[in-house]
Amino acid sequence: MKNKVIGITADIKDKFFEIEKFYFDSILKSGGIPMMLPMVNNKINIKKICSVVDGIIISGSRDIDPKFYGQKKTKKINSLDIKRTLSEFAYIKEIYSNKKKKILGICGGMQLINVFFKGTLIQDIKSHKADMMDHIKTKKHKIDIFEKTLLKKIFKSDTIIVNSFHHQAVNKIGKNLIASSIAKDGIIESIESLDMKIIGVQWHPELIKNQKNLGLFNWLLN
């Protein structure tokens, strides 16, 4: 049986594509072969690239331009890259059309998946509501996992501790998606599709060295 290939979306900095090595480490540890997905928007190239991968990771990095979810930019919006957003939308569309392939969204990747499915975002958590947790400075916190979700099946636990590096969050959940976990301040910490082909998590499981978080990458490969 051949090892499955998992594509990971890349950022671009100073003419170079860039991916943190921890994504590669987690895929390799789970028995897969990691492959960088370049930032492209040509439909033919997207189809060719997606034909050789068995699943994809939408990695986190930039904020998403609020025009994609019907809002105007606030002063709290950070670095944007519309070309990257459109490229990742194209990868999601192509992979999701194949019923055998899965998608894992991590941090900003979860937010992008939600926007792709017509959901909205909180542009800045602290500006949204003063009594909310600072999800950047907190570094790590507990989340509650909902019953009868794919995430619960993977983690086999009601609560877990996750890391936290984000200032944006899912607000209105996209079509055919559900929330599968929540932080104590009400911030949605994970989403999944009703057909169980997509999981998005707000934390970075590739940075947490335990079997439970590795389970997300095992799910992607199986």
In whole angstroms, what is the distance from residue 90 CA to residue 96 CA? 10
Is 20 one of the annotated active-site residues of the chain?
no
162 with 173: CB under 8 angstroms?
no
The closest alpha carbon to 57, from 91, 87, 25, 83, belongs to 91
Question: Which candidate in 50, 88, 107, 135 is catalytic?
Answer: 107
Phi, psi of 213 (to 5 degrees): -70, -30
DSSP 156: -
Side-chain half-sphere CA neighbours of 47 within 13 A: 3
Identify the active-site residue in 135, 166, 167, 204: 204
- 8 Å CB contact between 65 and 73: yes
Q: Active site includes 167?
A: no
Q: Is 107 among the residues known to form the active site?
A: yes
Concatenated DSSP letters of 12-45: EETTEEE--HHHHHHHHHTT-EEEEE-----HHH
Q: Which letter, b or e, does each residue of 116-137 get, where b requires 16 or more Cβ atoms within 10 Å of its Cβ?
A: bbebbbbbbbbebeeebbebee
The catalytic residue among 88, 94, 192, 206 is: 206
Q: Three-state SS string across 96-127, please?
A: HCCCCCEEEEECHHHHHHHHHCCCCEECCHHH
Give the separation between CA 91 and CA 58, rounded to whole angstroms.
9
Catalytic residues: 107, 204, 206
